Structure 1
Amino acid sequence: MDAPPLYYLAGPAGHPNYGDELITAGWLKYLAETAPEATVWVDTHSPGPAQVLLGDLHPRVRFTDTLWRLCWAAPSDDPWQVAAWVRRAVTDPGLAPRWDRGIALLRRAEVIHLLGGGYMNRIWPRHIGLLAGAAAAARASGARCAATGVGLFPEPEGAAELVRATAAEFDIADVRDRASADLLGTTPGIDDAFLGHPKLRTSQDAMPDVMLCLQSDQLDIGADALASAVLRMLRAWQIAPERVGVVEAIPGEDRKVFDLIDHQLPGARFYPFVDIWEHGLPVAAGQIWLTTRFHMHLVAASAGATGVAIPVSKDFYATKHRSLVELGSGWTMLDDLDRVPRRPAGTGFDDSVIAAARRAKSVLARAVYAPR
């Protein structure tokens, strides 16, 4: 009898971050349906928390951190040097003997798959080693090498050619936004979150009319400016405080801005990350959302909600939110925090857009995991 296949996934699960967990969960559920006999390894910076959050989604999933540790162990922050060092370590594990067995495992995989998300770019230049390590391992072993739904923009400074050359080594290099596609000279795909079906609150649950998701990390603007802008919109639209809900994508980080204005929103309901992960996102058609987080925009618009996307950086977050607006979310992009936009009215993505996105992602998934 043939041995079951070994699939090696890599991504930033376990931080936790709602979008990253959502993407990893979607792929594990897909493989649980299509390849329950496979051994599935997920390489993540936080394998322990990822096991707790995601470990029951595939009958043979395990977690490690080999590629991430190689990125961190490189002797420089320069992306070219990180990529070169990780390649050498994957080819000659004697350079990184602490992770020898992990590298050997990586090189036994039939598929090496970098999951979607915006974790390989200028913000985290060492993570270019994930691309380089996956490519080197696949070259050594003959594995299929794929990246799906990734956001590579803005690329690490001075490393555009490195990103292009490394991505060209992949059998499948799928990116989720136009800027990343322009970088690689390809056409944009869609985010990996469209593969699965996020857990949502049931229609019997009482839902707030207006939802907020406001991050305090990766801001090009001040947290006070973000808090002021949100409070200004709620007042202009005459939203009663008790009609407001607040959700966390990253525990703690998405509570800080709300803490600045919660005294102005008596009766607002707060949903911590653990609540939405275990019981579902409190989203419903007809809601209005104000969010800085990309995946809240994606999931809410897919459920029929409208809203305002607030990019907190001009390159990274603006690029992500714009990809959903171009896809047809119907949301407003708030580029000027001093401006109060018209109260949103709409129904999010058309059902046909969601159906087409899921079909496209399913076709891509079958290509990644097609028998060799």
Structure 2
Amino acid sequence: MSRPLIYLITTAGIPNYGDELIAMAWLRHLARERPDADVLVDTVRPSAAAETLAGIHPSVRFTSTLWPVALLSPSWEAADISRFAASIVADPARLAEVEERFKLLIRPDGIPWEASPDSVLAGLEDLVSAEVVHMVGGGYLNGIWPVSLGVTAGVGAALQRGAGRAVMTGEGIGPYDAGATDVIRGLIEPFTLVDVRDTVSAEVAGLAAAQVTCDDVFLDLGPELYATHGKYDVVVNAQADHGASVEGLTEFVVSALSRWKVEPGRVAFVECRPGADDAVYKAVAQSLPEVAFVPVSEVLADGLPAGPGVRWISTRFHPHLVAAAAGSPGVAISVQPEYYDAKHSSLIALGSGWPMLTTLSDPVGWPEGEGFDQAKLKALREQKVAVAERVYGTRRASA
């Protein structure tokens, strides 16, 4: 008798700290609750995802199937990429019409996409046989990355071909323009469960308040995510993508460290996305060479440096979430208001205790507070576990 297949769709493997954490959380949950199933993780870069995620579930494999299908679209307009991806999933023989385009699948960092016509065909066969197709959370459903619309459309087409159920959890949806908003609302209609992490996402997708919970990382927060070694008094994550000002962030951080009278040797910069999170560090290190740099590989392996005695500055969402959960007070900086305001504001609304800055011109005082209250974290985890049980049930219930 064949084993049931669970098909997870994620952007892990870029790599990006938050995306890796979300995928890890669901794989750990499935290892506990669904060890009977095979799990196929559809991601942007399977080999990199496997370095972090392999072995978490006893029967996990990795593919890149729906992502390259969407990328093969001749047009990235919302309606066009959605129709194209859905048509390929509905009739995989159509891949022959765009086979030459596989040669063009080169990531922005110059790495060839890990996909071929044969691997995509095999992945599509797995997709349509899945018991559950699960788009795990993250901030990828928006107009910045229109390819995600094609992925979502592909899931809908898979349902038409026999896939069991489609769900999405912990999604951050938007921003989209008006036309793309209509497209995403239509694409999520076949999903039996749609769960988002903030009220702005619910408004964009036209969802009810009951469909708003929290980020998927709350499903599996635990001490393994925190590095409480006490090496640092201040930890910074400062990105250079999403229109962030490297010069402005550099000046802000140097000024804050001086005003807070922090020894540079007690300061660390944490990388979340390689290639996007070292520019500010390098600029600060020109004047403060003692500051440390912690690569994302070390953060994922050893935990995020955080805890009650560690102050934080973060432009990214998931360091804000995890550091506040560990008890760190901090400051969030929104470098792209239309994208990051909703993300950071959602954590503040849940009780992180961090202020959010939308300008770098105002001085900020020494962060105070204790991050998330432990009772609140327990409630958020229970809320997320309830979502997981709606998707996968429990071992007790299935025994």
**TM norm structure 1:** 0.95
Alignment partner of 2:253 out of 227, 230, 233: 230
Counterparts of 1:217 and 1:189 in 2: how far apart (Å)? 28
The reply to whether residue 103 of structure 1 matches residue 124 of structure 2 is: yes
> 1:342/1:19 Cα in 2 relative to 1: closer, same or farther (>3 Å)?
same
Q: Show the counterpart of 1:169.
A: 190
Counterparts of 1:310 and 1:142 in 2: how far apart (Å)? 41
**Mind listing any 5+ residue stretches in structure 1 that lack a counterpart?**
none
The reply to whether residue 189 of structure 1 matches residue 213 of structure 2 is: yes
Counterparts of 2:168 and 2:177 in 1: how far apart (Å)? 18
Q: Show the counterpart of 1:151.
A: 172
Work out whether residues 286 and 347 of structure 1, in 8 Å CA contact, stay in contact via their aligned partners in 2.
no
Structure 1 residue 341: Cα displacement = 2.2
Structure 1 residue 157: Cα displacement = 5.6
The reply to whether residue 324 of structure 1 matches residue 371 of structure 2 is: no
Counterparts of 1:348 and 1:138 in 2: how far apart (Å)? 42
CA offsets per residue over residues 348-367 of structure 1, 9 Å max, x none? 01111100110011111111
Q: Comparing 263-272 with 359-368, which one deviates more in the overlay?
A: 263-272
Counterparts of 1:271 and 1:193 in 2: how far apart (Å)? 21
Q: Show the counterpart of 2:56.
A: 57
Number of equivalenced pairs? 369
Q: Show the counterpart of 1:128.
A: 149
Counterparts of 2:289 and 2:180 in 1: how far apart (Å)? 48
Q: Show the counterpart of 2:70.
A: 71
CA offsets per residue over residues 19-78 of structure 1, 9 Å max, x none? 000000111111111111211000011011111221111111001111001110112111
Counterparts of 1:67 and 1:35 in 2: how far apart (Å)? 24
Counterparts of 1:280 and 1:291 in 2: how far apart (Å)? 16
CA offsets per residue over residues 220-279 of structure 1, 9 Å max, x none? x42111111121222222222122121111123211111001133242222111211212
CA offsets per residue over residues 66-94 of structure 1, 9 Å max, x none? 10011101121111011111111111111
Q: Where in structure 1 do 4 or more consecutive aligned residues deviate above 3 Å?
A: 200-203
The reply to whether residue 269 of structure 1 matches residue 269 of structure 2 is: no
Please tell me the residue identity of whatever aligns with 1:301: A
> 1:70/1:37 Cα in 2 relative to 1: closer, same or farther (>3 Å)?
same
**Mind listing any 5+ residue stretches in structure 2 that lack a counterpart?**
97-116
Counterparts of 1:43 and 1:298 in 2: how far apart (Å)? 25
Task: Describe how 1:165-314 pairs up with structure 2 within 5 A.
Answer: 165-185=186-206, 186-187=208-209, 188-197=212-221, 199-201=224-226, 203=228, 205-219=229-243, 221-314=244-337
Q: Show the counterpart of 2:384.
A: 361
Work out whether residues 227 and 304 of structure 2, in 8 Å CA contact, stay in contact via their aligned partners in 1.
no
Work out whether residues 195 and 361 of structure 1, in 8 Å CA contact, stay in contact via their aligned partners in 2.
yes
The reply to whether residue 31 of structure 1 matches residue 30 of structure 2 is: yes
Q: Show the counterpart of 1:81.
A: 80
Q: Comparing 89-98 with 70-79, which one deviates more in the overlay?
A: 89-98
SS at match of 1:150: strand
Counterparts of 2:89 and 2:340 in 1: how far apart (Å)? 32
Work out whether residues 331 and 367 of structure 2, in 8 Å CA contact, stay in contact via their aligned partners in 1.
yes
SS at match of 2:353: coil
Please tell me the residue identity of whatever aligns with 1:120: L
Work out whether residues 127 and 163 of structure 2, in 8 Å CA contact, stay in contact via their aligned partners in 1.
no
SS at match of 2:305: coil
Structure 1 residue 168: Cα displacement = 2.0
Counterparts of 1:328 and 1:201 in 2: how far apart (Å)? 19
CA offsets per residue over residues 111-168 of structure 1, 9 Å max, x none? 0000100112111112101111112212331511100011111025621111111112
Please tell me the residue identity of whatever aligns with 1:60: S
Please tell me the residue identity of whatever aligns with 2:135: L
Counterparts of 1:37 and 1:327 in 2: how far apart (Å)? 35
> 1:142/1:56 Cα in 2 relative to 1: closer, same or farther (>3 Å)?
closer
Structure 1 residue 4: Cα displacement = 1.8
CA offsets per residue over residues 290-319 of structure 1, 9 Å max, x none? 011110000000011110001110111111
- Percent identity between the two aligned chains: 40
Counterparts of 2:85 and 2:298 in 1: how far apart (Å)? 38
Please tell me the residue identity of whatever aligns with 1:174: D
SS at match of 2:304: coil
Counterparts of 1:291 and 1:256 in 2: how far apart (Å)? 14
